[in-house]
Amino acid sequence: MSWYRNTVWFVKGLREYTRGGYESAAKHFNPADVEVDVAGRSFLVTGANSGIGKATAKEIARRGGTVHLVCRNKERAEVAKEEIVTETGNQDIFLHIVDISNPKEIWKFAEKFQNEHKLNVLINNAGCMVNNRELTEDGLEKNFATNTLGTYIMTTALLPLLEKAADARVITVSSGGMLVQKLNISDLQSAKGPFDGTMVYAQNKRQQVVLTEQWAKAHRNIHFSVMHPGWADTPAVRSSMPDFYERMKNSLRTEAQGADTVLWLAVSAEATKLPSGLFFQDRQPVPTHLPLAYTHSPPEDEEKLMEVLEEFSQKFKSISSG
């Protein structure tokens, strides 16, 4: 069955996730949706020094938004900030150095940020695909620490700030790869059996979809969404999936094309006319499960995921404040 799911996903991707799929979908876009002035609104983008994160931050800056870049590498982040300021003329670009795989750092950052800034839109873009099992300094498997726990803590830590904001939104950049995974709460840190980085990443991305759905139910004043950017030519894809990149490089989307739906979800009025908690691709809500793929989870598993992540979160919050 896993072979079947992977094959269906890949064939589907060949049609829809490539540059050609974007160009076909874009024929139906309304350009006015994103031709908006967002001056006075504050946006936070994680993983903003390259790829889809930087492309998103740049487009928001062009539209007058205040943009907070949250990045791990100070040197690359400063180059990205300078590029965004130079190309857009927007001086309201702020840089924060945070390792999203380090929950203590996230808590410290979020608590300081809440005291100094306002926030209308959080964009969870930071992620990684580590192909061998590695542990962080906290003993956490690195993909889980970054993609799932980091996203969870960054979002929940900033919820009080978002609750105060007008037209608050949270967008999480996931992946169509999650379609091949059923939520597995029995091995969140991939300690059992052989380690497959691609499938661990896909599992993390399934977890992000579940998080978004659960948050949407619990926080009615904030619009939550999760999206698949398609297969884009980014530094992350080149480094973590070199074989895939070589095979597909002539068909991959540009970074701007990958970022288009993130931007649309972040700035357009049309996005919030749709229900909170949906999964998007090319500005449209799409199913979170393939037909016959048996990837649906019982509600108690989804609730358990939230409970476990909250336990991790509170543990590291107490350490960071101590």
Region of 167 please: left (phi>0), alpha (psi -120 to 50) or beta: left
Q: What is the dihedral of CA 69, 199, 14, 23, to 10 degrees?
A: -10
Beta bridge partners of 71: 97
269 class by beta-carbon count within 10 Å (0-12 exposed, 13-18 middle, 19+ buried): exposed
For this structure, is 294 an active site residue?
no
Please count the other Cβ atoms lying within 10 Å of the Cβ belonging to residue 210.
21
Q: How many CA atoms does the CB half-sphere of 158 hold within 13 Å?
A: 31
Q: Which of 22, 201, 245, 294 is catalytic?
A: 201
CA 101 and chain centroid, separation: 14
209 vs 282: CA distance, rounded Å: 16
Residue written as tokens 């203590």? Answer: 104
Report how far residue 150's alpha carbon sits from residue 144's, in angstroms, rounded to the nearest whole number: 8
For residues 59 and 52, give the distance between their C-alpha atoms in angstroms, rounded to a whole number. Answer: 11
- One DSSP character per residue, 144-167 reads IIIIIIIHHHHHHHHHHHHHTSTT
Residue of 258, 274, 299, 291 lying closest to 224 (CA atoms): 274
Query: What is residue 168's three-state secondary structure?
Result: strand
Q: Which residues are catalytic?
A: 201
